[in-house]
Amino acid sequence: MDPIHPYPKRVTTDASDSSQTIRLFHVIDSLRRDGTQTALVNLVEGLAGRGYRQRVYCLNNVVNTDTEAALGASNTRVIVIGKPAIATGWGLARMWLDFARLRPTIVQTFLPFGDLIGRTIARAARVPVIVSSIRARNVDKPQWQLALDRVTARWVDRVVFNSLHTIDFALDKEGVRPEQVVYIPNGVKIGPVCASPARKELLSTLDVPTEVKVIVTVGRLYPQKGHAWLLNAFQRVLRNAPEAVLLIVGQGPLRDELEHRAGALGISRSVRFLGERRDVQAILPCADLYVQASLWEGMPNAVMEAMSCGKPVIATNVDGTRELLEHGTTGWLVEPGNHEALADRIMYALVHPEEAARLGNAAEELIRREFSVEVMVSRFDRLYRDLIGSRDR
């Protein structure tokens, strides 16, 4: 199905009048260190200098201190509601009172419960403009939640998708109408953030020999990210490239299970579980290859960050990832869940470093041209101001 877009394929980035002050409130499930939260921080930082007064309402108690500090540095107040307050109703009442008293111009919602609760409170408080953001094909949502999505979606002015491949599911299951659809892909920061420290020094701190081939993957340790398939593939890789080391950056409920799996496969000595790290932008430049084995995705920030560092990327042919990577041109794609194909492609990349470098350079050029934070922020800014303008007419 070819969705109808009220805007071009990507919202344009024409200059807009930043003299108008816009009160923008964001509602999000949590402020843990994940891709959606990174996109929120980038958006808040970018809009702070464009005439926006912003607040962020976090629905549960999961708050990463770095994420909160980054929002605060943009003069944005963070209000943590918390699950107990939501469960008792007090948190919902507090949000409604805030919205009714402070009268935001726009409420922007992120993630499943941020959408449900943010839409409902904004509607009840008569907020003029409500925008949601769907970041992935939410195939694991229960039916009751999809039913509530269909009810609350009718109150939304626009729904922003960061991946074209997530739109059909939302139209079919989540109550989104074609005329609500807007496509704004994620953006990543470009520039000296990817300047690498000495590879030898960094790898030494990770207990990794400097002469090895370093493969990196970044993502929370959830079934969606396909780490189990990656470990299976890496076992096969080590038979041909015993000098390779896999660095797994991220934390989550599957860590113990994955560490046990690595042990059962006999590859523990070549795998490092690094947990959640603040220095991902220092680790990526030390990689020879970046791999993402996800079973489904929206538009993965981690892949974009690796591309922005000029790293060759191998990823699964899913959703937003295929919008980033053109097989054989800006990276390589393999089918999800096929660990043999993933292993074969990793081995190919390791023995063809010149081709891998060429694809990495092409990927970096693409990110700089199409997927920078500045471009993303300008598209959101244009969308918001157009919606406000349509209300004023």
For residue 108, what are the domain limits? 22-187+372-392
Residues 172 and 237 in one domain: no
60 falls within a domain: yes
| 158 and 199 part of one domain | no
Residue 282 has pLDDT above 90, yes or no: no
Rounded distance between C-alpha atoms, residue 305 and residue 311, angstroms: 9
Whole-angstrom distance, CA of residue 124 vs CA of residue 101: 12
Residues 293 and 378 in one domain: no
Instruction: Give the H or E element holding residue 248.
Output: strand 244-249
Q: Is the pLDDT of residue 241 over 50?
A: yes
Q: Report pLDDT for 189.
A: 83
Count of CA atoms in the C-beta half-sphere (13 A) of 384: 28
In a domain, 12, yes or no: no
Mean pLDDT, residues 318-343 taken together: 93
3 within domain boundaries: no
Whether 262 and 348 map to the same domain: the answer is yes
Can you give the pLDDT at residue 1? Answer: 35
Output phi, psi for 372, to 5 deg.
-85, 160
- Please report whether residue 14 resides in a domain: no
Residue 343 has pLDDT above 80, yes or no: yes
The predicted structure's pLDDT at residue 203? 87
Runs of H (alpha helix) within 208-270: 227-240, 255-265
Percent of the chain with pLDDT over 90: 76
| Cα–Cα distance list, 158 to 38, 133, 141 (Å) | 21, 8, 21
- Residues linked to residue 247 through DSSP beta bridges, in sequence order: 216, 272
Token couple for 296: 């489904």
Confidence grade of residue 280 (pLDDT, cut at 50, 70, 90): confident
Give, rounded to a whole angstrom, the gap between the first and last alpha carbons of the chain: 32
Using one digit for the tens of pLDDT, what is the confidence trace for 41-71? 999 999 998 989 999 999 999 999 999 999 9
> pLDDT at position 53, please?
96
Task: Decide the pairing of beta strands 77-80 and 244-249.
Answer: unpaired
Q: What are phi and psi of 175, to 5 degrees?
A: 80, 10
Q: Is residue 182 part of a domain?
A: yes
Q: Report DSSP letters for 54-123, one per residue.
A: EEEEESSS-B-HHHHHHHHHTT-EEEE--HHHHHHSHHHHHHHHHHHHH--SEEEEESHHHHHHHHHHHH
157/202 same-domain check = no
Query: What's the total number of domains in the chain?
Result: 2
Q: Are 376 and 364 in the same domain? A: no
Cα–Cα distance measured from residue 272 to residue 244, given in angstroms and rounded to the nearest whole number:
11
Are 173 and 227 in the same domain?
A: no
Helices (H), the chain: 35-48, 65-73, 83-88, 90-102, 112-124, 143-152, 167-173, 199-205, 227-240, 255-265, 280-283, 301-308, 321-324, 339-351, 353-370, 373-392
Same structural domain for residues 237 and 337? yes
Q: Which of 99, 97, 102, 90 is nearest to 27 (CA)?
A: 99
What pLDDT is recorded for position 4? 39
Selection from 323, 347, 140, 115 nearest residue 223 by Cα? 140
Model pTM score: 0.80
Written as one string, the DSSP assignment of 123-137 is HHTT-SEEEEEE-S-
pLDDT band at 35 (very low <50, low <70, confident <90, very high): confident
Provide the CA 202 distance to its chain's centre, in angstroms. Answer: 26
Compute φ and ψ for 76, nearest 5 degrees.
Answer: -115, 125
The sign of the CA dihedral 218, 221, 225, 226 is positive
Looking up tokens 């962020």, which residue turns up?
56
pLDDT at residue 265 in the model: 97
Q: Which tens digit of pLDDT belongs to each residue from 140-193?
A: 899 999 999 999 999 999 999 998 988 999 999 999 999 999 999 999 887 554
φ/ψ (deg, to 5) at 297? -150, 165
Two tokens, residue 305: 């960050």
Does residue 270 lie within any of the structural domains?
yes
Tell me the residue type at 155.
W
Tokens 């953001």 correspond to what residue? 133
pLDDT at position 18 is 55
Q: Say yes or no to pLDDT of 20 above 80.
A: no
Whether the pLDDT of residue 354 is over 80: the answer is: yes
Q: Is-contact 208 247, C-beta < 8 A?
A: yes
Is residue 301 very low, low, confident or very high in pLDDT (cuts 50, 70, 90)? Answer: confident
> Which tops the pLDDT comparison, 16 or 344?
344
Q: Is 286 helix (H, G, I), strand (E, B) or coil?
A: helix
CATH number at residue 337: 3.40.50.2000
Q: What is the pLDDT of residues 184-226, one digit of tens each?
A: 999 988 755 445 556 788 888 888 888 899 999 999 999 999 9
The reply to whether 172 and 214 lie within a common domain is no
Of all residues in the chain, the percent with pLDDT exceeding 70 is 93
Mean pLDDT of the chain: 91
For residue 272, being part of any structural domain is answered with yes
Q: Which amino acid does the sequence have at 324?
A: L
